[in-house]
Structure formats: structure tokens, C-alpha cells
Amino acid sequence: MDAAFFDRWSLEYDDDVIACDEANLYPFAGYRRTLESLLDAIKAKPGAKVLDLGFGTAKLTQKLYDTGYEISGLDFSPEMCRIAQEKMPKAQLICFDFAQGLPDAIKDARFDIIVSSYAFHHVPDSLKPTRIVEWYDALNPGGVILIGDVAFLNEQSLELSRDDAGDEWDEDEDYMVFSSLQPEIAHLSPKYEQISHCAGFLTIYKTYC
């Protein structure tokens, strides 16, 4: 799925996602609960400096923007960037492929929260540990990485979901499998919670010392 795909999907995206969640179907079963979990975790840090990776139509970040959070974000779809910038005129939104790292404009910035909802599967598995370590380095002490996405505790639960989804399963997406990722980032003490049969939530806190 490239930026042009998301440009075309941008106007129907919100309705499609909710319909899929309501039907409890892959890939968006648990979408609203995942966003609520992300928002609950973020509410613990009112007014924080937030970086949203793959902000899309700003379903998550607009709520934060409207309540005084300082928002930066990366998304590689120009159309998603346009829609989100209209909703959040003062946010620093950059059209950029976050799988490649952080752009120069924010390379030296530090954030209290780095959040990503339903976009981490666009980072190839081989790059996931490197990107997470870079994002960790971009946190202020006491900051947190929050990733909600299509995700699985282990390979067996991914296989169950793949069987269940049948032809709907997207072979091009690299869904997080926590048991495979965990050893690569164990030094960051990641925590994982399963939200639905195909949604999961990764939390990594940066300690003060």
C-alpha cells in the first residue's frame, strides 16, 4: 500500500474503518477500543508534546490538538496530510515515509509521547527494532511510545486470524508479532496487550535516569 492508495482511500477511510470494527472483522476489529486505550494513556500527560506516526485523517490527534496538546506528525499520503492539516492548522505535519526514519525537520526534537495507530504494520519487520530504538531516543525522559495496530501476541494467534480472514488477509502488511519483536527490544522493557482478535497495543516507557 503506497501513498497513492491512501490518497484514494482518504475520503471513505473513517466510515470503512468503523463498519469493519462494528462487524468485529479483520483488520479493524477493536479499532475504537484501541484508540480509546491510546487516548487514555495520553490523557495521563495533559498538554504534552506528541508525535503521531501515520496520523491519517487525524481521528486520534485532532482530539488531542483540540484540548491543547502540541502536535507533530508524519504521514506519506499528501491527501491525508491535507485533510489533517485542515483539522489542525497549527500542527507540524510533514509528508514523510516514517519507515525510513525521522526527517531532518524533527531529527533533533524531543517528544513526551510518540503514538501510532494502525500504521506500524507499514514498517517492514526487519526495520521495526531499529525504528523503535530511534523513536525511544527521540523521547524526553519520562516519555512513552504507544503503538496500537493490527497485532498478535505470537505466530499461532496470527495464523488463526489469517485462517479466519481467508481471502481478505493482506499478505503485504507486516503485522507486529510481539513474541518475535520482544527479544530485539527487550532492553526497552516493552509491554503488550491484546485488544481484540487482531488488535494489539505496545507500550514502552522511557525512564528518567
The site for ligand SAM (CB under 6 A) is made up of 3, 6, 54-56, 59-60, 74-77, 80, 97-99, 117-119, 122
Least spacing, CB of residue 58 vs ligand SAM, in Å:
8
Q: Of 106 and 179, which CB lies nearer to ligand SAM in the complex structure? A: 106
Q: Strand 49-53 and strand 111-117: pairing?
A: parallel
Q: Of 141 and 173, which CB lies nearer to ligand SAM in the complex structure? A: 173
Least spacing, CB of residue 76 vs ligand SAM, in Å:
4
Least spacing, CB of residue 187 vs ligand SAM, in Å:
25
Do the Cβ atoms of 191 and 181 come closer than 8 Å? no
Least spacing, CB of residue 207 vs ligand SAM, in Å:
27
Give Cβ neighbours of residue 18 (< 8 Å, ≥ 6 apart): 28, 31, 32
Least spacing, CB of residue 146 vs ligand SAM, in Å:
12
Torsion angles phi and psi, residue 151, rounded to 5: -165, 160
* Residue of closest CB approach to ligand SAM: 56
Q: Of 87 and 179, which CB lies nearer to ligand SAM in the complex structure? A: 87
DSSP at 53: E
Residue 30's Cβ-side half-sphere holds a number of Cα atoms within 13 Å equal to: 21
Q: Of 59 and 206, which CB lies nearer to ligand SAM in the complex structure? A: 59
3-state helix/strand/coil string of 1-25 = CCHHHHHHHCCCHHHHHHHHHHCCC
Chain-centroid distance of CA 119 in Å reads 5
Do the Cβ atoms of 98 and 123 come closer than 8 Å? yes
Q: Of 33 and 179, which CB lies nearer to ligand SAM in the complex structure? A: 33
